[in-house]
Amino acid sequence: MAPRVILIGPMGSGKTTIGQLVASNLGIAFRDTDHVIEERAGKSVSDIFLEDGEDEFRILEKKVLRDELLSDDTVLALGGGAPISVDAQSALRAIASPVIYLDISLATVAPRIGFNRDRPLLLHNPRGQWQTLMEARRPIYESIADSVIDVNEKSESEIVSLVLEVLK
């Protein structure tokens, strides 16, 4: 039991949008760790950060990741920080499912993250915060990924085709 494919990458890289399109193309379920966390907590990611703090969010995220890695034949999108803990890194390296990293530049992501859309880590100086997180996380994303897709200057349908190509 494991997901058909796991999408990782930073905030704004399109994991949810692309994941949903890939899932519907394959006729299988789409799962997203942030959505599951929100369902379980009964509140939004922003409210969890605000009311309970980031540490509590990361605890929930770890539990959700552990459970979702057992979801069978799904397209699973991970929140940008979900693959970062040491435990998550080992689990993702060990799993047979292909892990695809959606790589995006600051220039491409900037217009998407300017207006905060439930992204508590990007509340102040979104571009600067995004870049700082990305500098720390890029080597981790790269080391976990079985494939990297450069999503810059590509349409959604081109990216979906590239994901499907990896899965062939």
Q: Is 12 annotated as a binding residue?
A: yes
One DSSP character per residue, 38-106 reads HHHHTS-HHHHHHHH-HHHHHHHHHHHHHHHTT-TTEEEEPPTTTT-SHHHHHHHHH-SS-EEEEE--H
Part in contact with ligand S3P (CB under 6 A); list of ranges 79-87, 101-109, 145-153, 160-168: 79-87
Which of these, 26, 12, 107, lies nearest to 74 by C-alpha position?
Answer: 26
Site string for ligand S3P, 88-127 (x = CB under 6 A): -------------------------------xxx------
- 18-57 residues near ligand S3P, rule: CB under 6 A: 34, 45
Part in contact with ligand S3P (CB under 6 A); list of ranges 75-83, 96-104, 144-152, 157-165: 75-83
**Cβ distance to ligand S3P smaller for residue 109 or 160:** 109
Pick from 6, 11, 60, 145: which binds ligand S3P (CB under 6 A)?
A: 11
- Please give the single-letter amino acid code of residue 127: R
Number of residues that bind ligand S3P (CB under 6 A): 10
Part in contact with ligand S3P (CB under 6 A); list of ranges 63-71, 73-81, 103-111, 147-155: 73-81
Q: Is 17 annotated as a binding residue?
A: yes
Q: Is 13 annotated as a binding residue?
A: yes
> Bridge partners of 62?
none
Q: Could you give the CA distance from residue 48 to residue 157 in angstroms, rounded to a whole number?
A: 33
133 burial level (CB within 10 Å; 0-12, 13-18, 19+) = middle
| Site membership for ligand S3P, residue 80 (CB under 6 A) | yes
Element housing 147 (H / E): strand 147-150
Helix, coil or strand: residue 30: strand
Going by the annotation, the residues of the binding site for Mg(2+) are 16
Which residues are at the interface with ligand S3P (CB under 6 A)? Answer: 11, 15, 34, 45, 79-81, 119-121
